[in-house]
Amino acid sequence: MNYNFNLKKTLIIFAHELKYMLRDRTTLFMMVLLPIIIYPLISVTSAYMFVKSSQSVKKSKTSVIINRDYPPFTDSIRRYFAKYKINYDIKFASLATAEIQSLITRNELSAYIELAKDFEKNIQASKSSEITLKFDLANDKSSVARAEVVNAVRNYKGELVEGNLSRLNISETLIFPFDINSVNIASPSQIGDSLLARILPMVIIMFATIGAFYPAIDVTAMEKERGTLETLLLAPAGALDIMFGKFLAVFCLTMFSIMINLASISLTFTHGFFIIKKISEASRALNIVNFSISPFSIIAIFVFMVPIACIMSALMMQVAIFARNFKEAQNYMTPILLVFMLPPMVSMLPGYSLNFSSALVPVVNLTLLLKGMLLSDYKISLALLTFAVNIAFSLITLVGAARTFASENVLFRPSEDIDVLYFWKYKTLKVNQELNIVKLFFVFQLVLLYYAGSFVQTFFEIKTGLIITEIFFIFLPAFIFIKLVYGNFLNTIEFKVPGLKTLAFSVFVALCGFGFTTVVTIFQSVVSSPPEQMLKQLQKAIMADSASGLFVIAVITALLPAICEEVMFRGMVLNALVKKYSPFYSALICGVLFGIFHFSFYRFIPTAVIGFYLSMLKISTGSILPSMAAHFINNFVIVVIANGEWYLSKGIRPPMSLMFLIEGLILFSFVIFPFVIGSMLRKAGRPSGAAGQDS
């Protein structure tokens, strides 16, 4: 790799890329025109529509029907409506519910008031009586009328009470000792700030992502698609000059896009709504909101976006350079888009604010900080930490992008002209194709497990659900896949009976691995405790009420997974991985996939570790049985300990010496585990005869 850096060449490439991208209409549209048009358009029209529609509901004249005229009541209602300028006709008719409904749907009626039989008589005699109000809450006008009619009737009730009290010479305060006043003390601009604080960080980051998207593809994958990459590499410019020149161009465009979005959004909020307020003086909702963004916040947002734009540009370029054309690049970039688009949603949620641990997460920290800044509620120390963390991440992504650019394997990736969806048609597969097919199938099984598995486990009892999942969603698909692609099932999964020594070794590895994952889990629970729900679920699955129950549970949660999951991971997945990657990397990838497969954030690290050492076990012994045995022992120990813990909670205590022994053993195995892995690595490193073949 040549890391000579030539500023002049970098600037030549930068200038070229910038000019070239600014000539692209799509880029220009997404970057300049869209933000300029879209914010004013969306916000002004939606606000306008909102005001208009609420006005139209109020303005249009509808009626309220009372089943009969009782002048004191009717007059009170009329007075109330007149006082608050509520424009309802009051009519009299006795209607059945069906008739009310049809009148409401025809917009001839908004509410129906039904005075009980003998209402007049009971009121005069100061006896209890009843008024029934009927509305159609599915109808807009009727639901608007509801609050007003209820208030009018309450008002009548108040008048009655007042009248009665004054007749009896009783002070009003005896019945109404206090009034409730809820007063909104937030100034219109404070409400505006809180709204902005939720929306602005998200929108800015989202549009920055979109701003970086096309340029990142344009300077990388498109260069391959056009066939200009080779000519560029033939020019006397180093990989670093090329990468950095391109990066600068993408970065500048991203910052430019942020600037335009920021300007457009702040102008829309500060001036756009002002226009609407003028249009509709009557809108009470908009008068309580006042948007203002200080120039200081705008500059601060801009400065804090610098490292984020840097991370975005470098990461997107690094991913897009793997693609051979625009379409491929779009596919590869989708996960990256999600990485940037989802965290900003956090700022929309109430109650989340920046603290020490969230300041360590790039992108998320910025959205929380921006939210805090707009609410004038943030600490300088956390702001600086956020900035530092993002700068550090941006440097890491830059180095990553530079390394990717210097790799000729990435720049001249051969075309894989095989259609992975029709894999069974091909007699002999190349390793990359085989790996792609296995990856695809793994994703398929993941989706199957997620939907079908969770359905089955809620539909059936949890134990039955586990059995069905293991056999039909894990073992069977893997079995069919291996049969289709490789033919011989047992040979492919390397079902070979190991020697006694190997078996003893795998038991030892499993116990060490258990100790290691236990310590890891404890560490993890210190950092963040697992959700209660998950623990209960787990307990329900592995708790036995009798000795025979323990046996059944051992079969379901230890033996069955040991066979089914091993066939899928160590049989199918690892089999394809080792053909391409070194033993260590294969085991690592297989472990991570195994971790993902457990669909739990809290169990990811322990299960990935287990997946890793089970893979190492298979690679180093050349047989699947040791990893099956180790998997069984790991799960079995968990079942035994969980049941043991239950006895503990019942107050049955084993001798202290035994407890110390167990804890000691766990710590011992934690320490020794890396050495065990090391020994397996050395064993796996020896040639097994599979390497060195020509395709």
- Using rule CB under 8 A, residue 428 touches other proteins: no
Cβ closer to other proteins: 220 or 268?
Answer: 220
Instruction: Give CA–CA dist 469/453, Å, rounded.
Output: 6
Structure tokens given for 463: 């134990």
For other proteins, the binding residues in 504-563 under the rule CB under 8 A are: none
SS3 of residue 290 by DSSP: coil
CB nearer other proteins, residue 584 or residue 646:
584
Residue 581 interacts with other proteins (CB under 8 A)? yes
Tokens encoding 560: 């069955």
376 contacts other proteins (rule: CB under 8 A):
no
- Pairwise CA distance, residues 329 & 253, whole Å: 19
656 binds other proteins (CB under 8 A): no
Closest CA to 390 of 449, 346, 340: 340
Q: Which of 75, 408, 545, 663 binds other proteins (CB under 8 A)?
A: 408
Which one of 98, 174, 183, 234 is in contact with other proteins (CB under 8 A)?
Answer: 234
Work out whether the CA dihedral 299, 301, 307, 312 comes out positive or negative: negative
**Smaller CB separation from other proteins, 649 or 693:** 693
Is residue 690 part of the contact set for other proteins (CB under 8 A)? Answer: yes
Of 472 and 581, the one with the shorter C-beta distance to other proteins is 581
**Residues 251-290 as x/- pattern, contact with other proteins by CB under 8 A:** ----------------------------------------
Smaller CB distance to other proteins: residue 379 or 430?
430
- Say if CB 207 and CB 310 are below 8 A apart: no
- Residue choice 176, 274, 412, 424 for contact with other proteins (CB under 8 A): 412
By beta-carbon proximity to other proteins, the closer residue of 43 and 575 is: 575
Query: How far apart are the C-alpha atoms of 67 and 64, rounded to whole Å?
Result: 10
Residue 227 engages other proteins in binding (rule: CB under 8 A): yes
Let me know: does 614 contact 635? Beta carbons within 8 Å: no
Minimum Å distance from CB 230 to other proteins?
A: 6
Rounded to an integer, what distance in angstroms lies between the CA atom of residue 1 and that of residue 411? Answer: 14
* 237 versus 478: smaller Cβ distance to other proteins: 237
For residue 428, the tally of other CB atoms under 10 A from its CB is: 7
Tokens of 482: 């291996």
Closest to other proteins by CB, 193 vs 434, is 434
Q: Map the footprint of other proteins across residues 142-201, applying CB under 8 A.
A: none
Neighbouring CB atoms inside 10 A of 197's CB total 20
Site stretch for other proteins (CB under 8 A), options 235-243, 293-301, 345-353, 650-658: 235-243
Contact 580, 495 (CB under 8 A): no
Q: What are phi and psi for residue 592, nearest 5 degrees?
A: -65, -40
Alpha-carbon separation of residue 376 from 137, 197, 295, 373, 615 (angstroms): 41, 10, 14, 5, 52
- What lies within 8 Å, CB to CB, of 137 at 6+ separation is 143, 146
Tokens describing residue 579? 């053909």
Starting from the edge strand earliest in sequence, which strands make up the sheet with 62-66, in order?
88-92, 62-66, 111-115, 131-134
The secondary structure of residue 269, as a DSSP letter, is: I
- Of residues 55 through 114, those in contact with other proteins by CB under 8 A are none
DSSP 202-225: HHHHHHHHHHHHHHHHHTTHHHHH
Selected binder of other proteins within 123, 165, 206, 233 (CB under 8 A): 233
Q: Quote the CA–CA distance of 317 and 223 in Å, as a whole number.
A: 12
691 contacts other proteins (rule: CB under 8 A): yes
Give whichever of 22 and 144 is closer to other proteins, judged by the CB atom.
22
User: Which segment (100-108, 429-437, 473-481, 657-665) binds other proteins by CB under 8 A?
Assistant: 429-437
| Residue 226 near other proteins by CB under 8 A | yes
According to DSSP, the β-strands at 111-115 and 131-134 are antiparallel
Determine, following the binding rule CB under 8 A, whether residue 686 of this chain makes contact with other proteins.
no
Radius of gyration in angstroms for the set of CA atoms belonging to the chain, rounded to a whole number: 35
**Phi, psi angle pair for 61, to nearest 5°:** -85, 125
From the centroid of its chain, how far is CA 536?
Answer: 24
By CB under 8 A, name the one of 432, 436, 521, 600 that touches other proteins.
432
* C-beta of 219 vs 542, nearer to other proteins: 219
Residue 246 binds other proteins (CB under 8 A): no
If binding is defined by CB under 8 A, does position 692 make contact with other proteins?
yes
Q: Which of 281, 417, 461, 694 binds other proteins (CB under 8 A)?
A: 694
Q: Which is nearer to other proteins, 133 or 233 (CB)?
A: 233
3-state secondary structure 19-57: HHHHCCHHHHHHHHHHHHHHHHHHHHHHHHHHHHHHHHH
Minimum distance, C-beta of residue 411 to other proteins, in the bound complex (Å): 8
User: Interface with other proteins includes 415 (CB under 8 A)?
Assistant: no
Residue 574 is a binding residue for other proteins (CB under 8 A): no
Taking CB under 8 A as the criterion, the residue among 228, 355, 376, 529 binding other proteins is: 228
Q: Is 349 in the site for other proteins (CB under 8 A)?
A: no
CB nearer to other proteins: pick between 60 and 231: 231
Cα distance between residue 357 and residue 365, in whole Å: 9
Which of helix, strand or coil describes residue 663? helix
Task: Report if residue 235 touches other proteins, rule: CB under 8 A.
Answer: yes
Residues 13-42 that bind other proteins (CB under 8 A): 13, 16, 20, 23-24
Binds other proteins (CB under 8 A): choice among 40, 201, 211, 238 = 238
Among 107, 155, 582, 679, binds other proteins (CB under 8 A): 582
Count interface residues toward other proteins (CB under 8 A): 38
Residues that bind other proteins (CB under 8 A): 2, 4, 9, 12-13, 16, 20, 23-24, 226-228, 230-238, 408-409, 412, 414, 430-432, 579-582, 690-695
